């Protein structure tokens, strides 16, 4: 009988072949924030995967169908979730989830955001970018102005809590990726 861990290994194989995002189980564990060796240990033991681990897996991989993972019923990927990388033929697409409404109505909390790596010297004013900070937080903003040492970011939402703009020192930014697509949630 196929176990949840066996299906998780199938998903990792899928990611290796189609997404190019993970190279092996260790890279998958790192991306999900799972302990080193979690996959191997689960395979050796009873093969069950706890709900807290499933939550960690779904954060970077929302396309995974939980029902399939837990029971084997249905498809591996959620229905209707053709991934941006497949649509665009681009293997360097990552998915993030919007955590606030700073970019409302362009991006709403809970939307899935497709981002692509861009050279820092090619930032385009007026484009929306994902800004990755050293504390591993991610937020989305328009780039308003680019200078040699700093970037001015602006939220779409004009509510006072999002301010009129935020000036960021480039040295304090871990990474910047351009937003190339948004999947709105209608729940």
For residue range 11-47, list pLDDT tens digits in order.
Answer: 998 888 775 668 888 989 998 889 888 888 888 887 6
Number of domains in the chain: 2
Q: What are the backbone dihedrals phi and psi of residue 84, each rounded to the nearest 5 degrees, phi first?
A: -50, -40
For residue range 138-164, list pLDDT tens digits in order.
Answer: 999 999 998 889 999 999 988 888 888
Residues 136, 13: Cα–Cα separation, whole Å? 26
Task: Write down the pTM of the prediction.
Answer: 0.55
Please tell me whether residues 34 and 97 are part of one structural domain.
no
Does residue 77 sit within a domain?
Answer: no
Please tell me whether residues 93 and 177 are part of one structural domain.
yes
Residue 172 has pLDDT above 50, yes or no: yes
What is the domain-level CATH number for residue 102? Answer: 2.10.109.10
Residues 174, 138: Cα–Cα separation, whole Å? 10
Please tell me whether residues 45 and 98 are part of one structural domain.
no
Mean pLDDT of the chain: 83
Please tell me whether residues 40 and 106 are part of one structural domain.
no
- Domain containing residue 52: 4-71
Element (H, E) at 14: helix 4-14
Mean per-residue pLDDT for 76-92? 61
Position 14 scores a pLDDT of: 87
């Amino acid at each position: 009988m196929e176990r949840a861990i066996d299906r998780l290994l199938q998903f990792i194989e899928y990611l290796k072949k189609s997404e190019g995002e993970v190279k092996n189980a260790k890279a998958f564990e790192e991306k999900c924030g799972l302990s080193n060796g979690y996959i191997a240990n689960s395979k050796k033991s009873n093969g069950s995967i706890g709900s807290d681990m499933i939550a960690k897996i779904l954060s970077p991989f929302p396309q995974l169908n939980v029902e399939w993972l837990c029971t084997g019923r249905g498809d591996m990927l959620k229905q209707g979730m053709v991934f941006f990388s497949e649509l665009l033929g681009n293997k360097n697409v990552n998915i993030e989830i919007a955590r606030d409404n700073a970019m409302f109505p362009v991006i709403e909390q809970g939307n899935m955001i497709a981002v692509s790596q861009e050279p820092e010297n090619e930032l385009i004013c007026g484009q929306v970018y994902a800004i990755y900070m050293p504390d591993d937080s991610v937020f989305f903003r328009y780039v308003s102005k680019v200078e040699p040492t700093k970037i001015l970011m602006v939220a779409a939402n004009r509510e006072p809590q999002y301010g009129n703009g935020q000036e960021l020192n480039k040295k304090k930014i871990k990474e910047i990726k351009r937003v190339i697509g948004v999947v709105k949630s209608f729940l």
